A and B are shown apart, each in its own frame.
With several copies, the nearest count.
Chain A
Amino acid sequence: MAELTYRAAVAAGIAQEMERDPNVVLIGEDVGAAGGVFKLTEGLLERFGPERVRDTPISEQAIVGAAMGAAMTGLRPVAELMFSDFFAVAWDMVANQIAKTRYMTDGQVSLPLVLRTANGAGLRFGAQHSQSIENWAMAIPGLKVVAPATPADVVGLMAAAIRDPDPVIFCEHKALFAVKGEVPDGEHVVPLGQAAVVREGSDATIVALAAMVPRAREAAERLAADHGISAEVIDLRCLVPLDAHTILASVSKTSRLFTVEENPRLCGWGAEIVSLVADEGFYSLDAPIVRITTPHIPLPSAAALEDLALPTVERIVETVRRRLDEAR
């Protein structure tokens, strides 16, 4: 076991796969000589050379389109979009081309590619550099969506994403870059579509993703310590494929469901999970399902406002406590 930052785990995960498969190539703005603007790809150019690690112009449509064309002709490209907000500039390539081509061609075309991106808020970058776009991707059939919360999962899910024969949107959370964690030695692969129960509990299920996982976890500890509430915390890890079993099993045990979502309120992944449980898990439910989200607003840049916007540990604790009380 080595301790790595989430940041270093990104490069480690990519390197593991580039080492293994010469068809894995990396492109993006400043991914090469500069090692990435967040230093997420540091050392890869030196190690794998300019044929495999290519700097591009500011041309997101061309970056994503080129990744698609390369994937359909034998490569396994990994393309970086520097900030996830920039998916909007290339959304046609992602949502209309990459997501749909396999189906439209009845399986003639496979698109083994990964679009990686720095996602999420917390750095006071304002509304155009802080978004959580995982639900944009989840809403589009034909895309797999991954959002790791720990360095080990960064490596393991990156490996699975690169090996996956289908397109994967891989969201690396900016607020977690400096977080450290143990990463298993040797080849590490975490299969897509398996949520992790990161804390067991019996009174309520809290489902979270990426940067909301440590917050949900801390909230659960406080709920236990301060309020005697035993919360189970699930780290989704992937939105597509979605580990519906783990969620439904947990709710059938706890009878109560909360989501903790960084995305703006409407049509997030939480709404999908609520819908799943309100249908298939309805008879297990004891109380209203509650989503704890960012309000439906663009993200403000001032530290004081950004901190208020995102679900905090306090808000999670308070909401769970109050809603459980009400339901008693």
Chain B
Amino acid sequence: MASAPPQIDRETQLRMYRIMVDCRTFEERAQELFFEGLVRGTTHLGIGQEAVAAGVAAAMRNDDYTFCTYRGHNHTLARGVPMAPIFAELFGRATGLMGGKGGSMHLTSVKHGAMGSYAIVGAHLPIALGAAWSAQYRKSGQVAVCFFGDGTTNIGAFHEALNMAAVWKAPVVFFCENNQYMEYTPIREVTAVEHPAADRAAAYGLDSILVDGNDVEVVHRVAKTAIDRARAGDGPSLIEAVTYRHGGHSRADPGKYRPDDEVAAWKARDPVPAYRQQLLAQGVGETELEAIDGDAREAVAAAEAEARPAPEPAADVLETQVWTDGGSAWRN
């Protein structure tokens, strides 16, 4: 991964900033709505980790595939999926992205290349490999990007997918967002190596890649290199980006198991204002950034307003879409 970092053009920079702000604004509101009781079930926020979703998405082709986890709002938004159906899904409404059948943990929009959010740790790594294999077979030039957390590196499916992807030279990028915790347990307490993904790349004949996950441009560059490599037929990559979630693991978890100074230090490295500062320093105008910030606030407000009054799913959809014929009949 030693090639000189290409310049990132202004358009891409602004796009990444916009994605980050959209994600942040959306999720902050989602959290409020969870506490209001409007978002039901559970919700896993990526606040603090937006640089990853944004940096990678901006390196993807429109027809590339994203596979992510229950902590997948950011990755889904980053592919251009509109906010209203996501809100509606979180609220359990008929207009939800999956009609209320999936919920927060399973956001999927195939037409945006958002191929699903998976809630059993590790499962989507083999599935992403399968999509990459399909692209390889169809010679479509598509790449699959698979996001997962540090905790995921200790489950069997991780190992199987990495080895098989390497052997098959599949066009897939495995992207580990090391936010340093698996739910409430610090990853270092349950992992035999310091860098749960990077220190294991060699076990699959891959380069060890460890980057700052809070620097969107660093993320973008490393993602672009890996995606280009995959597209060129040079096989998979495993990237570890170190980052931090500002809040708890899910729902109402206040994240009290983390030392205050650790949280404070990472909040001081918040990727969104940091990138804003960086762009300002590079000469982007304050008004331009403010417009983006304002757009995000408006978009979130409009999406919420659209989703709120939507009806609950009708009883007659309960048993639809088990099969491709639209139904669920298991007998004649």
Q: What is A's interface to B at a CB cutoff of 8 Å?
A: 25, 29-30, 33-34, 37, 51, 54-75, 77, 85-86, 88-89, 92-93, 96-97, 101-110, 112, 123-129, 141-142, 165-166, 193, 240-245, 265-266, 276, 295-298, 300-305, 308-309
Contact = CB atoms under 8 A, between A and B. Distances in A.
Interface of B: 40-42, 65, 67, 92-93, 96, 98-106, 108-111, 115-116, 118-135, 137-138, 142, 144, 151-152, 154-157, 160-161, 163-164, 167-168, 182-185, 189-191, 257, 312-313, 315, 317-326, 328-332
Given A101-B116, A103-B321, A74 B182 contact: no
A242 B131 contact: no
B126 A74 contact: no
A33 B130 contact: no
B134 A65 contact: no
B38 to A, nearest CB: 11
- Counting from the closest, the 7 A-B pairs by CB-CB distance are A69-B130, A65-B126, A301-B103, A302-B100, A124-B41, A302-B92, A66-B130
Contact of B164 (A57, A74, A88, A243): A57
Contact of B130 (A67, A112, A193, A304): A67
A191 B314 CA distance: 33
B160 A59 contact: yes
A125 B42 contact: yes
A51 B133 CA distance: 10
B130 A65 contact: yes
Contacts of B151: 57-58
B108 A109 contact: yes
A108 B320 CA distance: 12
B155 A107 contact: no
A105 B110 contact: yes
A304 B317 CA distance: 11
A58 B152 contact: yes
Nearest to A130: B41
Contact of A69 (B119, B131, B160, B182): B131
Given A69-B133, A86-B120, A96-B123, A301 B167 contact: no
B120 to A, nearest CB: 5
A66 B129 contact: yes
B322 A102 contact: yes
Nearest to A125: B41
Given A102-B322, A305-B101, A56 B106 contact: no
B228 to A, nearest CB: 20
